[in-house]
């Protein structure tokens, strides 16, 4: 029998990206939960078009929204998917494979950008090197986690940035990371908007500073996409 799966998508003012992901990804056989911010009326048409999905409201912030989605989920594995990332064909089989090894408590897919630019290929190679050497995937690789392990760790920490890195680091202390050969494809729109070099340099700066112990509440000021995120009250957990 197939292992029960729940896919959790946090979204904030990104209805167009979510619409594309819902249209181009096969979620059949899985529980789909969209965690949005209360008052986001732009999602109303999508709610009507996808009545079988679970739509919940949550406090603003990716960590808070994903924790809210996890709290509503029933699957044995939780798949945390960004609104602008599309899962590959066969994604369920990849998680089934990970599920066979009881030592594995989390996994990720390969990273790819939907751009024909050679710069996109360079970034993809850099991500693969980071994951191979450091065992550190980011959220745009569609992290999947055993529900029991996620709950035992208290879920995502209430951080304004680096919440995915923090979770992966904690998961690696208690189990193994499964790296699927299948590719999850993320929109290149933010690299194209911000500049390939500028956005990549910003990401590298953030992870280096985080590794050096700079608090996420200070790092968030370096990321325009999260600059207006409210500061957390001391790294509180949600689960």
Strand partners, 58: 37
> What 3-state DSSP class applies to 193?
helix
Q: How far is CA 112 from CA 31, 46, 69, 139, 178, in A?
A: 25, 26, 25, 13, 17
Model confidence over 25-45: pLDDT tens digits?
A: 999 999 999 999 988 888 999
Query: Does the reported pTM lie above 0.85?
Result: yes
111: left (phi over 0), alpha (psi -120 to 50) or beta: beta
The pLDDT of residue 222: 77
Model confidence over 136-171: pLDDT tens digits?
A: 999 999 999 999 999 999 999 999 999 999 999 999
Given a cut of 50, whether residue 234 has pLDDT beyond it is no
The pLDDT of residue 40: 81
| Residue-range domain boundaries for the chain | 5-226
Given a cut of 90, whether residue 233 has pLDDT beyond it is no
Residue 227 phi/psi, 5-degree rounding, is: -60, -30
Q: What average pLDDT does range 195-211 have in this prediction?
A: 91
The pLDDT of residue 225: 64
| Bridging pattern class, strands 85-86 and 176-186 | antiparallel
Class of domain 5-226: alpha beta
Given a cut of 90, whether residue 86 has pLDDT beyond it is yes
The pLDDT of residue 140: 94
Identify the H or E element spanning 101.
none
Identify the H or E element spanning 176.
strand 176-186
| Bridging pattern class, strands 5-11 and 31-37 | parallel
The pLDDT of residue 4: 96
The pLDDT of residue 239: 37
The pLDDT of residue 229: 46
Could you tell me what percent of the chain has a pLDDT over 90?
82
Identify the H or E element spanning 20.
helix 15-24
- Binned at pLDDT 50, 70 and 90, residue 224 comes out as low
Q: DSSP letters along 197-217, please?
A: HHHHHHHHHHHHHHHTT--HH
Strand partners, 34: 9, 55
The pLDDT of residue 52: 92
Q: DSSP letters along 110-157, please?
A: EEEES---HHHHHHHHHHHHHHHHH----GGG-EEEEHHHHHHTTSSB
């Amino acid at each position: 029998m197939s292992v029960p799966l729940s896919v959790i998508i946090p979204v904030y003012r990104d209805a167009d990206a979510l619409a594309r992901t819902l249209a181009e990804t096969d979620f059949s056989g899985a529980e789909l939960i969209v965690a949005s911010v209360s008052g986001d009326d732009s999602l109303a048409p999508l709610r009507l078009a996808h009545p079988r999905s679970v739509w919940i409201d949550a406090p603003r912030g990716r960590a808070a929204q994903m924790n809210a989605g996890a709290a509503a989920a029933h699957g044995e594995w939780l798949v945390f998917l960004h609104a602008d990332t599309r899962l590959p064909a066969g994604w369920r089989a990849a998680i089934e494979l990970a599920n066979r090894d009881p030592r594995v408590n989390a996994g990720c897919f390969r990273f790819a950008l939907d751009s024909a630019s050679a710069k996109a290929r360079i970034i993809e190679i850099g991500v693969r090197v980071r994951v191979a050497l450091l065992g550190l995937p980011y959220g745009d690789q569609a992290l999947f986690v055993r529900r029991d392990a996620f709950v035992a760790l208290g879920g995502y920490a209430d951080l304004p940035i680096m919440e995915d890195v923090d979770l992966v680091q904690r998961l690696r202390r208690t189990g193994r990371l499964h790296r699927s050969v299948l590719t999850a494809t993320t929109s290149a729109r933010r690299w194209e908007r911000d500049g390939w070099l500028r956005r990549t340099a910003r990401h590298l700066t953030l992870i280096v500073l985080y590794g050096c112990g700079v608090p996420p509440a200070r790092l968030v000021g370096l990321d325009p996409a999260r600059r207006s995120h409210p500061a957390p009250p001391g790294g509180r957990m949600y689960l």
